[in-house]
Amino acid sequence: MSNVPADLKYTRSHEWVKSLADGTVEIGITDHAQHALGDLVFVEVPDAGRAVKAGEACAVVESVKAASDVYAPITGEITAGNPQLAGEPEAVNADAYSAWLMRLRPAPGALAAAALMSSADYEKFLAAEG
């Protein structure tokens, strides 16, 4: 059973979103996603300052099985990509919820408009996906 922390929000493409005190959000891939991908061998994160739209591919996670895009859950501006992951992609496998990929400042109103799920809904979504 995947680990789905109750204090985060989730997307259908298996990203998690955490609201930070300064109004930005931290984004990563879920425990389910890292498990499905298997051992990661490469992670590419976006540069700070890049403007992204919700649903736009903005990071890449690659395992020996597959390469997958990570999508911006919310429209806004990237404030940081996690510099640790280029040299240490396995950090995502070790703890998907502390190894954030990027931080983003949502555009005005974008956070409310984003299609995010609660942890309970994401668990239901995972169960339905089988």
Partner 1 sequence: MPAREKVIFEYSHPGRGASDQWPAEPPAAALADLPAKLRRARPPELPEVGELEAVRHFTRLSQLNFSIDTHFYPLGSCTMKYNPKACNQYAMLPELLARHPLAPESHGQGFLACMYELQEMLKEVTGMQGVALSPMAGAHGEFAGVAMIRAYHRARGDLKRTEIIVPEAAHGTNPASATMCGCVVREIPVNAQGDVGLEALKAAVGPNTAGIMLTNPSTLGVFERRIEEVARIVHEAGGLLYYDGANLNAILGKVRPGDMGFDVIHMNLHKTFSTPHGGGGPGAGAVGVGTRLMPFMPLPIVGKEGERFRWLTQVDLPQSIGRLSAFMGNAGVLLRAYIYMRLLGRDGMRRVGEYATLNANYLLTRLKAAGFDAAYPERRASHEFIVTLKRQAREHNVTAMDFAKRLLDYGFHAPTTYFPLLVPECLLIEPTETESKDILDAFVAAMSQIQKEAEQEPERVRGAPHTMPVRRLDDVRAARQLDLTWKPAAQP
- Which residues here bind partner 1, judged by CB under 8 A? 36, 38-39, 41-42, 63-66, 89-90, 130
CB of residue 55 to partner 1, shortest distance in Å: 12
How far, CA to CA in Å, does 86 sit from each of 33, 46, 109? 18, 11, 32
CB atoms within 10 A of CB 104: 28
CB of residue 10 to partner 1, shortest distance in Å: 20
Q: Go through the chain and tell me how many residues it has.
A: 130
CB of residue 67 to partner 1, shortest distance in Å: 9
> Closer CB to partner 1, residue 44 or residue 90?
90
Tokens encoding 66: 């597959």
| Separation of alpha carbons 103 and 119, rounded Å | 20
> Closer CB to partner 1, residue 42 or residue 118?
42
CB of residue 19 to partner 1, shortest distance in Å: 30
Burial of 19 per CB tally in 10 Å (0-12, 13-18, 19+): middle
109 Ramachandran zone, left/alpha/beta (phi>0; psi -120 to 50): left
> Closer CB to partner 1, residue 36 or residue 117?
36
> Closer CB to partner 1, residue 65 or residue 124?
65
